[in-house]
Structure 1
Amino acid sequence: MQYLSKYLFCFCLIIYLFSCDVPAAKESKRLQTNFFDIKAFFEKEAAYLKAQDVQILKTIQHNQTKETQTITPKDWNKELSMFAGSDINKPSWKDKYLLDSTNRGNGLTLLHYKAIDDKLSIQVLDVELKENKVHSILIVKKISNQVYESQQHLTYIPRKGYTIKKSQDVTLFDKDDYSIEAKYIYHE
């Protein structure tokens, strides 16, 4: 009986130590970023836009059909999810992108991240900084396999708006083109 209780105690101690360690490990991974932290940027941007009660003049086009409407997003994180979801700070991707930093003059710096593996969906992430603040973001995504090919160009201008252009080609179907242009409207 005493033999069993020692093993039970050791087992419970190991379980306890692992359960205490897991959240800390997750938190430390979140803090370690190799590249521009796009997820954190869009979390801050969503909070700002919500606090300002910003509306969007949104034009959506699918092939030749076009519609424009003014909306007030209920959830800015969801509205900006295509951008925030383009985070390249995954542990398995730390050696999958090359960074080229270029000084463009007038206080502009371009951080150009290019995938070295053409199988990665995020092929390009360009972050243009003006005096260390984000001036614009361009994301190029590409998905390709035997039956489906899709390419997206996402452009974001902080506090002004965004555009999303998507082209998809599915075998045996016509090619589809989509675009969304969103302009932010602030209340005076």
Structure 2
Amino acid sequence: MQKYLLVFFTLLALWSCTSNSVSESTSAERDIYFFDIAGFFNAQIKQLNTDQLKANKTVKYNAKRDVLQDQSLDYEKELTVFVHSDINKLSWREKYQADTLRTAGEIQSITYKALDDQLKTQKIAITFANNQIERIAIQNHLKSIMASTWQELEYRPRKGYQVHGKQTMRLSGEDEMGIEVEFAQ
């Protein structure tokens, strides 16, 4: 199982280092055109680390599964994949379509869809309840001559998160990976 975890986290690390990377600057130092994913998740990381919130974590790699109970996690590493899905770059300003749903003057949801299928982050959907973020769902996709990778991310503040991915390699077939984390209350 450790071999599979090593492969999974290596793929996750490589995925996080792709072209959607965000500089280490704070949101005050960068231009914000869309919802500030990087700023939001950096604040969540800080809060989770301050609270020292423990979690139950399930890691899946193809048919193998490993469950870890009541774990202290390094949330900076755990949530890097979310931070690196930020779409606030000047060159991408016209490459995403934004749709905001309001009811009685309150934002219910914000959705960003990529207008260019070459962009890694294809969709971000943010759902609100009582003016608070209830859920963030992100779809990432990378395609090259050798491989195609899909990734679905979901984060629910104070509840947990999921990362599911599928990678199809021309020479070695398909692998499915997943992480599900439920914060201990």
TM-score by length of 1: 0.79
- Give the match for residue 59 of structure 1: 58
Letter in 2 for 1:117: D
**C-alpha displacement of 1:51:** 1.6
**What is the rounded CA distance, in whole Å, between the counterparts of 2:144 and 2:42 in structure 1?**
32
CA change 1:115–1:63 in 2 (3 A) is: same
The percent identity for this pair of structures is 31
Deviation digits for residues 72-127 of structure 1, max 9, x if unmatched? 02x3222211111110001111111000112368x661101000000000000111
| Distance in 2 separating the partners of 1:154 and 1:27 | 23
Q: Partner of 1:40: helix, strand, or coil?
A: helix
RMSD over equivalenced CA pairs, Å: 1.9
Letter in 2 for 1:72: S
* 2:95 is aligned with 1:72: no
Higher helix share goes to which structure?
1
Code of the aligned partner of 1:33: I
| Partner of residue 49, structure 1 | 48
Alignment of 1:13-162 (within 5 A): 30-70=29-69, 71-73=71-73, 75-103=74-102, 109-162=108-161
Cα distance in 2 for partners of 1:28, 1:100 equals 22
How far 1:129 sits from its partner (Å)?
A: 1.6
2-structure distance, mates of 1:44, 1:133: 14
Within 1, Cα distance between the matches of 2:27 and 2:100? Answer: 26
Post-superposition offset of 1:39? 0.8
- In 1: Cα distance, 2:133 partner to 2:162 partner: 16
CA shift, 1:131, in A, is 2.6
Residues 156 and 163, structure 1, Cα contact 8 Å, conserved in 2: yes
Per the TM alignment, residue 44 of structure 1 is displaced from its structure 2 partner at its CA by 1.1
- Residue 168 of structure 1 aligns with which residue? 167
Shift of 1:48: 1.3
* TM-score, length basis structure 2: 0.80
Instruction: Kindly tell me the number of residue pairs found equivalent between the two proteins.
Output: 159
Deviation at 1:27, TM superposition (A): 7.2
Tell me the distance in 1 between the aligned counterparts of 2:26 and 2:125: 27
**Rg larger in structure:** 1
Instruction: List, as ranges, runs of 4+ consecutive aligned residues in structure 1 with deviation greater than 3 Å.
Output: 26-29
Q: 1:27 to 1:152 in 2, by over 3 A?
A: closer
Unpaired segments ≥5 residues, structure 2: 1-24
- Alpha-carbon distance between aligned partners in 2 of 1:126 and 1:34, rounded to the nearest angstrom: 15
Letter in structure 2 aligned against 1:94 = R
